[in-house]
């Protein structure tokens, strides 16, 4: 539940790079290798890699991007079995395919050998199509961690509908929620705890101001934020959101999660997204979506 004071910037500061116009989308360069790492709930550090290839048109006329392989390894001595889920996402946020296994025995050889899979090639959308890996030790019962690999290239600039208004946007995370170290929310609607992927069907939790008469915006209200290309839903309250700054209609506090990063990293992400930007209340279902976490 979001009760802490939020937002470190003054009301007049506008969101920067997230909302800037950028060059038209470019196709992925051949054989681009991306790497990432994360730490699961048992303290095992996982290294991931994903190799992107050329774009091509399949037999049905759909433009796709090759993902030659996506895999992971760990140097932990006790990482001898693994639970993993690999999802490939099209640029509109739909899942192209899911591959998962539980308690898979594998010899990572202290991080020198990768368990590689060949996910389905997603529909090409530079900067939006992606492969998401959830991985963790297979025998300790603790949660895994997430690595995301995004198709190289810049996404097309977001179009801001004329129906939008301005809002002052802040963010909160696992680390500074109330209580800290939780995803608790005050008024669940679609989620028992803060979450969501950003699609219309699964919007991300957000918090709004409130008084003794109730929330400033009814629980269950959806918003669309063009700069993020994500949908959000009111499921929580924010102690510092009742009075929006001058020249904006709303003050909205977005769930950023942050469990896969440090407290410092999550705070830095919240700082980066703080500022004024356009929002659409009660949006249509048809806006473009870049599914996944903001940070």
Q: How confident is the model at residue 141 (pLDDT cuts 50, 70, 90)?
A: confident
pLDDT tens for residues 247-286? 899 999 999 998 888 888 888 888 889 999 999 999 998 8
Pair 90, 120 in one domain: yes
Asked if 206 and 219 touch (Cβ cutoff 8 Å), the reply is: no
Q: What is the pLDDT of residue 13?
A: 37
Q: Which domain holds residue 95?
A: 32-150
Asked if 274 and 171 touch (Cβ cutoff 8 Å), the reply is: yes
Low-confidence winner among 7-11, 181-185, 214-218, 229-233 (lowest mean pLDDT): 7-11
Pair 233, 139 in one domain: no
Cβ burial, residue 20 (10 Å; 0-12/13-18/19+)? exposed
**Does residue 289 form part of some domain?**
no
Pair 164, 254 in one domain: yes
Q: What is the pLDDT of residue 280?
A: 95
Whichever domain contains 194, its CATH number is: 2.40.40
Arithmetic mean of pLDDT over the chain: 86
CA distances from 136 to 35, 141, 173, 190 (A): 17, 9, 22, 27
**Does residue 169 form part of some domain?**
yes
Q: How confident is the model at residue 27 (pLDDT cuts 50, 70, 90)?
A: very low
pLDDT tens for residues 205-231? 999 999 888 899 999 999 999 989 899
**Does residue 9 form part of some domain?**
no
pTM of the predicted model over 0.95: no
Among 103, 131, 150, identify where a domain stops: 150
Greatest mean pLDDT range, 53-62, 161-170, 187-196: 187-196
Q: What is the pLDDT of residue 160?
A: 62
CA distances from 46 to 7, 56, 93, 119 (A): 32, 31, 25, 19
Q: What is the pLDDT of residue 11?
A: 38
Q: How confident is the model at residue 161 (pLDDT cuts 50, 70, 90)?
A: low
Q: What is the pLDDT of residue 20?
A: 33
**Does residue 197 form part of some domain?**
yes
Whether residue 7 has pLDDT greater than 70: no
* Percent of all residues in the chain with a pLDDT value above 90, rounded to a whole number: 60
Q: What is the mean pLDDT of residues 32-41?
A: 94
Q: What is the pLDDT of residue 253?
A: 96
């Amino acid at each position: 539940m979001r009760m802490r004071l939020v937002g470190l910037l003054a009301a007049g500061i506008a969101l920067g790079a997230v909302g800037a116009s950028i060059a038209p989308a470019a196709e992925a360069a051949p054989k681009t290798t991306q790497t990432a790492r994360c730490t699961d709930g048992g303290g095992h550090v996982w290294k991931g890699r994903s190799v992107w290839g050329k774009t091509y048109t399949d037999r049905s006329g759909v433009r796709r991007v090759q993902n030659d392989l996506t895999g992971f390894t760990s140097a932990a001595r006790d990482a001898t079995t693994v639970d993993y889920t690999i999802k490939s996402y099209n640029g509109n946020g739909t899942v192209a395919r899911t591959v998962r296994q539980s308690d898979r025995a594998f010899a990572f050889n202290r991080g020198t050998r990768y368990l590689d899979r060949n996910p389905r090639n997603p529909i090409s959308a530079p900067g939006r199509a992606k492969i998401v890996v959830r991985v963790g030790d297979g025998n300790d019962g603790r949660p895994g961690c997430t690595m995301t690999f995004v198709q190289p290239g810049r996404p097309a600039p977001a179009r801001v509908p004329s129906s939008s208004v301005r809002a002052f946007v802040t963010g909160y995370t696992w680390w500074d929620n109330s209580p800290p170290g939780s995803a608790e929310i005050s008024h669940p609607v679609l989620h028992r705890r803060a979450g969501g992927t950003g699609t219309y069907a699964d919007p991300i939790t957000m918090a709004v101001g409130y008084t003794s008469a109730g929330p400033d915006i009814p629980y269950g209200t959806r918003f669309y934020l063009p700069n993020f290309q994500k949908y959000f839903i009111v499921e929580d309250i924010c102690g510092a959101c009742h009075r929006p700054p001058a020249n904006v209609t709303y003050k909205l506090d977005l769930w950023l999660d942050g469990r896969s990063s440090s407290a410092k990293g999550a705070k830095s992400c919240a700082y980066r997204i703080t500022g004024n930007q356009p929002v659409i209340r009660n949006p249509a279902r048809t806006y473009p979506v870049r599914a996944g976490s903001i940070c």
